[in-house]
Amino acid sequence: MKIKLARWLSGGIPPVLPLLMAGTLLALFATVALSLNQAIYYYNPEINVNNYASLKVEFDKNLRVAGGYEFQPFSEIDTFEKFISEKKSGLLLLSSWHFTLLRKKLAIEPLLVGRVGDKSTYRKVLVGNKSMTNLEKLRGATIATAGSKRFSRNMLKAMLGEENSDIADSVIFLVAPKDIDALLAMQFGLAQAALGSEMALNAVGEINNRFRDSINILLKSDELLLQIVAGFGQQGLNEKVMISIMEKFGGSKEGGNALQMIGLDGFTKIGKTEMDILDR
């Protein structure tokens, strides 16, 4: 190489191979520099499954290949909010309920919404055992839920409406890891009612006929948006690349598997209909 370089410096043929190599290396460094410490930060108060290690492995596998990005899950809301409040910009993956709360404190912009099949919305349901024949009976009752206590009380208040919202203050929550656990905990007598997604309720009902015969559906929530990818601060090239990666995530088998670990099939761009639901 030394000989070729000397010949080029002295007016000979330019050493194409070394130049190409140097160029490739420079491009590689630029990509690494751009994407260093670039992550999408995840927190979801609606489920309590401690699967963070596996989530990180599955998401990182796809994000790293696509551009050296990474997935950073959080298990506690305070740590998550403190962490992002100290950052100037970034991308978040969070529940739509949390998004509406967080946007009161932080200038965040919704970019993508999760989907299951072709739907971007879901409903929460409150089911009771057979003794729960009316809402008054909920007063002081134990409700099994997979959500955090704060999320569950807030959701229950919205479902009960203003006239009955005081009932939500009287209930005791039994926090289970996932919706199915919460529904089954009610079935075997640990709670008088359970709060979960309509999807989980249908799944358990289809499988377990004893469960199906032992419940009353007490309340259904309005349509809620599935999880959201949101951006905050100045969106640079990295964020734009990452959004594009997330949008295509469900397209590959491996990306699809990672998304299914958070209960989604894919993402779509937020449209007017979704914005209306968020602003409601």
Residue 46 is a binding residue for another protein (CB under 8 A):
no
Binding-residue pattern over the window 141 to 160 for another protein, x denoting contact by CB under 8 A? ---x----------------
One-letter amino acid of 225: L
Residue 65 is a binding residue for another protein (CB under 8 A):
no
Residue 118 is a binding residue for another protein (CB under 8 A):
no
175, 235, 248, 268: residue in contact with another protein (rule CB under 8 A) = 175
24, 37, 50, 79: residue in contact with another protein (rule CB under 8 A) = 50
89, 170, 202, 257: residue in contact with another protein (rule CB under 8 A) = 257
Residue 130 is a binding residue for another protein (CB under 8 A):
no
Site for another protein in 198-227 (CB under 8 A): 203-204, 207-211
Size of site (CB under 8 A) for another protein: 40
Residue 177 is a binding residue for another protein (CB under 8 A):
yes
Q: Which stretch binds another protein (CB under 8 A): 50-58, 85-93, 126-134, 243-251?
A: 50-58
Q: Which stretch binds another protein (CB under 8 A): 103-111, 124-132, 179-187, 215-223?
A: 179-187
Binding residues (CB under 8 A) for another protein: these are 47-51, 53-54, 57-58, 116, 144, 172, 174-178, 180-182, 184-185, 187-191, 203-204, 207-211, 256-257, 260-263
